[in-house]
Amino acid sequence: MRYRKERLDRGIKVRCDDVFALSSYREILYLAMPRVLPVAILLLFPLLKGVVGLYWEKTLVVTCTVSLLALSWDLMASVGLISLGQALFFGAGAYLTGYLNYAFKLSPIVTIPLGTLGGALFSTLLLLPVLRLRGIYFAIVTLTLPLLLGRFIETTKILGGGEGMSGLSPLPNIWFELYVAVFALLVCLFSFRRLINEDYGLVLQGIRDNDRAVMSGAISIYRFKIQAVFIAGLAASFAGAFMTHYYQFVGMSAFAMDYSIVPLTAAVLGGPGTFAGSVIGAFILVPLSEALRGFGTLRVVFYSAILIICVVALPEGIFHYMRRKYHQFERLTEIG
């Protein structure tokens, strides 16, 4: 007697999907919980400063920025643009913000939005000639761009050169830091999820799956790619702009490999294509790496190992797994 596993939707999912009048609190909870619970935890966590300590609150800020980078990676991956260099956007946003504050003494309220917009615009313009490339070719170029830009700044000694710009204005207070990071993450997450389910997002996914077909539908794929890169760039540049004022410093490290590989690992670990997965991945990875701080650069080796294992053995990612368990149950059935 041989058996195989069979997956079936849970009754409650079927009812919630088809019957639009929800008939019990259980069903309402079933639908609302996966969305409300993480949001509530995120919003409440900063209030627990006295309990968890300042250290972990600061970790929350870092986690949020990494999540933003992972989200922006995920949006670009949804258009079929595999980026190995989210640090490009991060660094562009960070340097522009830092420069505006350093040279013109503008307040963070002005520099962060300007840095976000300008950084995204600059990176999009820089990527414009290479957007015609697909797959591996695009990945190669994005890998090289942040490294070369970092080198360029070091060489030309513009924007502070190798030492960077320090002594930038701090953010008003800790609550501002925490809640701006959390709100940015939530807004970005839910707007991206909305975006990809609209008609617009459908075109983006179409470009990923078969760009020839989209072209033959008389849609300019370059226009959509440019727009998608700009939108993704906004999220990542904001992360850079925010971190500049958070650290009160911007330097070569803004273009470092870390800002490319950590979001990438987060997105792959959490499950690409869903956005929620990227955030889950970041919320696993960053606190873990804080806990492993004693290992120094060995942490990057851990990331790499996680990446290889995830790509080869668990390609679907954590989020897809969780969603399947939530909506479906498994049972053994006889074969034959």
Contact residues for another protein, defined by CB under 8 A: 77, 82, 84, 126, 129-130, 132-137, 139-141, 143-145, 147-149, 151-152, 154-156, 257, 261, 264-265, 268, 272, 295-298, 300-301, 303-305, 307-308, 311-312, 315
For residue 136, CA distances in Å to 52, 84, 165 come to 43, 10, 35
Q: How far is the CB of 21 from another protein (least distance, A)?
A: 42
Residue pair 158/250 in contact (Cβ under 8 Å)? The answer is no
Alpha helices in the chain (DSSP H): 11-18, 25-44, 49-52, 54-78, 87-104, 108-127, 135-156, 174-197, 199-209, 211-216, 221-247, 258-270, 276-291, 298-313, 317-327
Q: Of 178 and 203, which has the nearer Cβ to another protein?
A: 203
Q: How far is the CB of 303 from another protein (least distance, A)?
A: 8
For residue 208, CA distances in Å to 76, 205, 215 come to 9, 5, 12
Q: Of 181 and 280, which has the nearer Cβ to another protein?
A: 280
Joined tokens for residue 199: 């008609």
Which H/E stretch holds residue 328?
A: strand 328-334
d(C-alpha 19, C-alpha 17), whole Å: 6
User: In this structure, is the dihedral angle defined by the CA atoms of residues 229, 145, 182 and 316, taken in order, positive or negative?
Assistant: positive
Q: Of 46 and 206, which has the nearer Cβ to another protein?
A: 206
Q: How far is the CB of 241 from another protein (least distance, A)?
A: 23
Interior/surface letters 115-141, b for 16+ CB within 10 angstroms, e for the rest: bbbbbbbbbbebbeeebeeeeeebbeb
Q: How far is the CB of 211 from another protein (least distance, A)?
A: 9
Q: How far is the CB of 294 from another protein (least distance, A)?
A: 12
For residue 209, CA distances in Å to 189, 215, 246, 267, 317 come to 22, 12, 39, 19, 19
Q: Of 24 and 155, which has the nearer Cβ to another protein?
A: 155
Q: How far is the CB of 134 from another protein (least distance, A)?
A: 5
d(C-alpha 109, C-alpha 245), whole Å: 10
Joined tokens for residue 208: 């990923």
Q: Of 30 and 89, which has the nearer Cβ to another protein?
A: 89
Residue pair 175/49 in contact (Cβ under 8 Å)? The answer is no
Q: Of 155 and 328, which has the nearer Cβ to another protein?
A: 155
Q: How far is the CB of 155 from another protein (least distance, A)?
A: 4
Q: How far is the CB of 261 from another protein (least distance, A)?
A: 6
Q: Of 244 and 260, which has the nearer Cβ to another protein?
A: 260
Q: Of 11 and 296, which has the nearer Cβ to another protein?
A: 296
- For residue 271, is it left (φ>0), alpha (ψ between -120 and 50) or beta? left
Q: Of 152 and 321, which has the nearer Cβ to another protein?
A: 152
Q: How far is the CB of 311 from another protein (least distance, A)?
A: 5
